[in-house]
Amino acid sequence: DSGVTQTPKHLITATGQRVTLRCSPRSGDLSVYWYQQSLDQGLQFLIQYYNGEERAKGNILERFSAQQFPDLHSELNLSSLELGDSALYFCASSVVGNSGSTDTQYFGPGTRLTVL
């Protein structure tokens, strides 16, 4: 158990809909990262938040957005869903997230999104 929790575990929805994925980081971790893993693909970095502020952006679509709340949990919002958005979405957390030292990311178990 990494200490990172993600809800829900599975989500099935229809095209055009909007969903929210939730992540609670490990206790004490200030950074949260979101990744997408599509079939046979590596983990694609989407976005990182540090202590409530957006820190880094990856290949995140404009239809997707995220935020980190004062209690440090984070939500990833996916809207106008398309079939190609079906994937595993992982959240990870780390202590700092912008350090030259080894700042290990701890991953949650993921949310499997299926868009029909």
Partner 1 sequence: DQQVKQNSPSLSVQEGRISILNCDYTNSMFDYFLWYKKYPAEGPTFLISISSIKDKNEDGRFTVFLNKSAKHLSLHIVPSQPGDSAVYFCAARSFSGTYKYIFGTGTRLKVLA
Q: Which residues bind partner 1 (CB under 8 A)?
A: 2, 4, 33, 35, 40-45, 48, 55-56, 58, 90, 92, 97-99, 102-110
User: CB of residue 105 vs partner 1: minimum separation in angstroms?
Assistant: 7
Q: Is 81 exposed, middle or buried (0-12, 13-18, 19+ CB in 10 A)?
A: buried
Give the nearer residue to partner 1 in terms of CB position, either 80 or 99: 99
Neighbours of 46 (CB within 10 A): 21
Of 71, 74, 72, 59, the residue nearest 20 (C-alpha): 74
User: CB of residue 80 vs partner 1: minimum separation in angstroms?
Assistant: 26
User: CB of residue 108 vs partner 1: minimum separation in angstroms?
Assistant: 5
User: What are the backbone dihedrals phi and psi of residue 51, each rounded to the nearest 5 degrees, phi first?
Assistant: 50, 40
User: CB of residue 113 vs partner 1: minimum separation in angstroms?
Assistant: 15
Q: Alpha-carbon distance 3 to 106, whole Å?
A: 8
Give the nearer residue to partner 1 in terms of CB position, either 27 or 102: 102
